[in-house]
Amino acid sequence: MPVHHPVSVKKIFILLLLPLILMSSCKTSKKVVVSTPLKLRGAEVIEVFDSVLAHEFSFEWLVLNASVDYTSRNETESFDIHVRMRKDSAIWISITPLLGIEAARVLVTRDGMQILDRVHKTYTVHDFGFLDSLLKTHLNFEIMQAVLVGNYFPYLKNEKLKSVYEEDSCTILSTLNKRKLKRAMEDKDPNKPIVQDFWISTSYRITKSRMEDERLNRSLEATYSDFTEAGSKLIPNNILVTIAAVNPAEIKVAYSKIAVDETVTFPFTVPDKYERK
């Protein structure tokens, strides 16, 4: 049975932002409009990557409603989120537990974020360095924006995709080249780099992503599935995130509404009685 506890601000960040730590299955739903299969003979990484960018989900304005289940240590917390976005500008998130009363409101911009904690009646402002220390991983506005719609993002600045592989019906793009992959497998590389892998379907959408850091013995994985068309591009309806670390966890996100290019506002008024922290 799921256990439903009040959602803390720290857990709000973990639940909403960890889908940047990704992986899982390569299956897509029957809703996907499949394009011509990839012809990999002689194909280069840049050719496949350019196709991924050409087919990524694009928008100017976006509204997302979703239910979220977060499971850790055999306990599950469930709540709803309402997300409003303007591309490259702002992400507004309202978090509502099952009782239907808003618990928190978050406004993210390129400079950082503001948080209204309605449970404890507090208001806080943070830059992205706060999230780095909280999640023990790198995060910025571009990553958050990409994760919410299943688009590509580089985890490390200026990181480039170096290899292309085939697995079943998918193409895999990786930041690890074949020579380094062999060295890492033979345990001869003392640096053991952080590796990002992206599984690409025949519709050129990312259906699986993985970030693995062997130095910290941690893998962060997510599956994107049940794709549907919105604004002429494909977007996943479901995201499953699996975190393999000291404190393993699983996050399920299921979108119930996806609306593209409806102009929206980002209401964020701080009540006078709220304490600034």
Rounded mean pLDDT of 187-208? 77
Q: Is residue 3 part of a domain?
A: no
Question: Closest by alpha carbon to 19, among 210, 181, 188?
Answer: 210
Please state, rounded to an integer, the average pLDDT across all residues of the chain: 76
Rounded mean pLDDT of 190-211? 82
Q: For residue 247, what is the DSSP state?
A: S
CATH number, domain at 144?
A: 2.50.20.10
What pTM value is reported for the model? Answer: 0.76
Name the domain count of the chain: 1
The confidence band for 42, taking pLDDT boundaries of 50, 70 and 90, is very low
Domain that holds residue 36: 9-262
CB 236 within 8 A of CB 227: yes
Q: Alpha-carbon distance 17 to 141, whole Å?
A: 11
Q: Is residue 214 part of a domain?
A: yes
Q: What is the pLDDT, as a whole number, of residue 243?
A: 78
* 147 Cβ neighbours under 8 A, 6+ residues apart: 17, 19, 20, 22, 153, 222
DSSP H or E run through 68: strand 61-72
Q: Is residue 22 part of a domain?
A: yes
Q: Is residue 237 part of a domain?
A: yes
Top-confidence residue, 218 or 256: 256
Rounded mean pLDDT of 253-262? 93
Q: Is residue 4 part of a domain?
A: no
Q: What is the pLDDT, as a whole number, of residue 21?
A: 35
Q: Is residue 58 part of a domain?
A: yes
Q: What is the pLDDT, as a whole number, of residue 11?
A: 54
CB 193 within 8 A of CB 155: no
